[in-house]
Structure 1
Amino acid sequence: MKVERNRVAAPLRLQHAAGYFSSLDDLVAQLLPLVSRALERGEPVALAVRPGTERALYTALGRRGGLIALTEPYPFSRGSGQTTAVRLARELRELTRSSAHATLISEHDSRYDGVDGRYWTEFDAAANIALGDLPVSLLCFYPELPLHLEILEGARRNHPLLLADGEFRPNPAHRTPQDVLAETPAPAPALLGAPAVQLTYTAWQLRDVRAAVTNLMTDSAFGSTRIEDVVLAINEVATNAVEHGTREAQLSLWLSTDGLVCEVHDGGRLADPLPGLRAPRPTDPRGRGMWIARQLCDLLHVWQDHTGTHVRLHAAS
């Protein structure tokens, strides 16, 4: 897989706004003028909304063309807001290659809430980083009630803009992604069973890490090119762990019909709670490893706790 390793530095172009609705009719009434104006300007409009909202919007528009439905996240990545933000950035980057601007409509979906609603806080914070250099208006709509308090608080802190009466207004409660996630860290994913492979390694044993991944994936459903991509991604994460974390780190591997899962654990702390979301610039001497790994895997989720920093990668077969 060809990975974009560098990009010319671009200023912040993302418009990220939160809106609130009391009913489906209220949501469609707010969406209709926004979508209509964008379509009249010839801009692509992408949707990440519930099926009922999509149908109602098409009915209100009186036509079937002009709107783009974005792909659903893989089931195993639904719990990772940072992975969803990376996927959106990838799709929107393609949309804006041939357009000066694009609009994305996102609607809260309770399937992703988890036990405490932190998915949405993580997603909005990650979107501010991953989509920051794109000429995109990201409009996130949340129902007024009922919602977990964490979701409402996350929306209040993560959005630089608020949508009110059809106008964008500065949000005085907005805070940086780093500040938001310092108070509401990215959640840990669901626990897995005993790994097929587990090893402790140092910087001198990265060859053993690559060999362990290659050996487990050989004779699986993965082709040789995909195996090379996954080995590269895991090597980048494993290297970061012993270079920037602690002298020793631990690697765990699981292989199933859903693909390969890898976890890397070290005892260090990350200054950046969501590394690898922003594309590296040509002048950056380092910092490409996590970006490359995010592009090569279907899920890359980073979280921290009292024991250190943890990264889970999932490569679908």
Structure 2
Amino acid sequence: MKVETTRVAVPLRLRHAAGFFCSPDDLVAQLLPLIGTLLERGEPVALSVRPATERALHTALGNPAGLIVLAEPHPFTRGSGQTTAVRRARELRELTSESGHVTVVAEHDNRLDGVDGRYWTEFDAAANIALGDLPVSLLCFYPELPLHLEILDGARRNHPLLLVDGEFRHNPAHRLPREVLEATPTPAPALLGPPDVQLTYTAWQLREVRTAVANLLTGTSFTPARIEDIVLAINEIATNAVEHGTREAQLSLWLSADGLVCEVHDGGTLADPLPGLRAPRPTDPRGRGMWIARQLCDLLHVWQDRAGTHVRLHASP
């Protein structure tokens, strides 16, 4: 798989705003004039909303051609807001390359809340990075009374703009992604059972890491080309762990019908809580590994705790 490894330096182009609604009818009432005006101007609008909201909008607007429906979060990405942001950026990069500026209307989906709502804080912080150089207006709508208070707190800290009475206003509570995630760390994923392969390695044993991954996947439904991609992705993560984390790191592998899950653990800490969300610039001497791994995998989730830094990736055949 060919992966773009550099980007051209461009100014921040993302326009990221939060709006709030008290009921499904209130949400539709807010969206109709907003979307209708954009469509009348010939500007495309992409939807990432619940099915009931989508149906109500299409019915009221008469199924207009300029209304685009974005892909739903992949089952593998549920629980990882950073992975959803990466996949969304990939989708919108392709869309904006064809149509120019796009307005995205997104609705909170409580199925993605997790145990405490931190998924949305993570997603919005990651979106500010992953979508930063795209000509996109991202309008995120949240319920006024969500199940978790963190959802509202995160929305107020992550959005530079607020939509109030149909007008965009500066949000004085806005904070940079790193500040947000220092206060609300990225959540850990659900625990898995005993791994099929587990090994502790150093920088001198990275070849053993690559061999272990290739051996586990050989003879499965993974093609040789896909195995090569996955070995590359895991090698980048494993290398980062022993170069920037601690002298020793641990690799765990799980193989199932859904694909391969890999976890890499080291005892170090990251200065950047969400690495690899944007391709590095041509002048950057390092930093391509995590970006490449994110492009090659269905899921790549990074989190930290007192024990160190942890990465889980999932790769399907």
- Smaller-chain TM-score range? over 0.9
Aligned mates of 1:127, 1:295 — CA distance in 2:
16
Q: Which residue of 2 aligns with 1:251?
A: 251
Aligned mates of 1:19, 1:205 — CA distance in 2:
50
Aligned mates of 1:128, 1:226 — CA distance in 2:
30
Please say if 1:301 is aligned against 2:279.
Answer: no
One-letter code of the match for 1:43?
A: E
Structure 1 position 202, deviation (Å): 0.7
Q: Which residue of 2 aligns with 1:203?
A: 203
Count the aligned residue pairs: 317
Aligned mates of 2:218, 2:42 — CA distance in 1:
48
Aligned mates of 1:40, 1:248 — CA distance in 2:
59
Q: Which residue of 2 aligns with 1:145?
A: 145
CA contact (8 A) 1:13 1:136 kept: yes
One-letter code of the match for 2:130?
A: A
Instruction: Specify the SS of the correspondent of 1:98.
Output: helix
Aligned mates of 1:72, 1:221 — CA distance in 2:
25
Instruction: Specify the SS of the correspondent of 1:313.
Output: strand
Structure 1 position 75, deviation (Å): 1.6
Q: Which residue of 2 aligns with 1:239?
A: 239
Structure 1 position 98, deviation (Å): 1.8
Q: Which residue of 2 aligns with 1:217?
A: 217
Q: Which residue of 1 aligns with 2:33?
A: 33
Q: Which stretch of the first structure deviates more once superposed, 26-35 or 172-181?
A: 26-35
One-letter code of the match for 2:212?
A: A
Q: Which residue of 2 aligns with 1:117?
A: 117
Give unpaired runs (5+ residues) of structure 1.
none
Structure 1 position 278, deviation (Å): 1.6
Structure 1 position 187, deviation (Å): 0.4
Instruction: Specify the SS of the correspondent of 1:185.
Output: coil
Aligned mates of 1:51, 1:254 — CA distance in 2:
34
Q: Which residue of 2 aligns with 1:16?
A: 16
One-letter code of the match for 1:156?
A: R
CA displacement, residues 188-238 of structure 1 (integer Å, 9 cap, x when unaligned): 000000000001111111111110000001111111111111111000000
Q: Which stretch of the first structure deviates more once superposed, 70-79 or 223-232?
A: 70-79
CA contact (8 A) 1:19 1:163 kept: yes
Q: Which residue of 2 aligns with 1:162?
A: 162
Q: Which residue of 2 aligns with 1:190?
A: 190
Residues 89-104 of structure 1: pairs in structure 2 closer than 5 A: 89-104=89-104
Q: Which stretch of the first structure deviates more once superposed, 261-270 or 18-27?
A: 18-27
Aligned mates of 2:43, 2:299 — CA distance in 1:
30
One-letter code of the match for 2:82?
A: Q
CA contact (8 A) 2:76 2:298 kept: no
Structure 1 position 42, deviation (Å): 2.6
Structure 1 position 64, deviation (Å): 4.5
Q: Which residue of 2 aligns with 1:133?
A: 133
CA displacement, residues 248-306 of structure 1 (integer Å, 9 cap, x when unaligned): 10000000011000000000000000000022111111000000000000000000000
Structure 1 position 28, deviation (Å): 1.2
What is the RMSD of the two structures over their aligned residues, measured on CA atoms? 0.9
Percent identity between the aligned chains? 81
Structure 1 position 57, deviation (Å): 0.6
Structure 1 position 316, deviation (Å): 1.4
Structure 1 position 100, deviation (Å): 2.4
Q: Which stretch of the first structure deviates more once superposed, 71-80 or 213-222?
A: 71-80
CA contact (8 A) 1:44 1:95 kept: no
Aligned mates of 1:131, 1:63 — CA distance in 2:
28
Instruction: Specify the SS of the correspondent of 2:31.
Output: helix
Aligned mates of 1:314, 1:232 — CA distance in 2:
13
One-letter code of the match for 2:102?
A: A
Aligned mates of 2:117, 2:146 — CA distance in 1:
12
One-letter code of the match for 1:229?
A: D
Q: Which residue of 1 aligns with 2:80?
A: 80
Instruction: Specify the SS of the correspondent of 2:97.
Output: coil
Structure 1 position 2, deviation (Å): 1.1
CA contact (8 A) 2:28 2:57 kept: yes
Aligned mates of 1:231, 1:42 — CA distance in 2:
45
Aligned mates of 2:58, 2:298 — CA distance in 1:
31
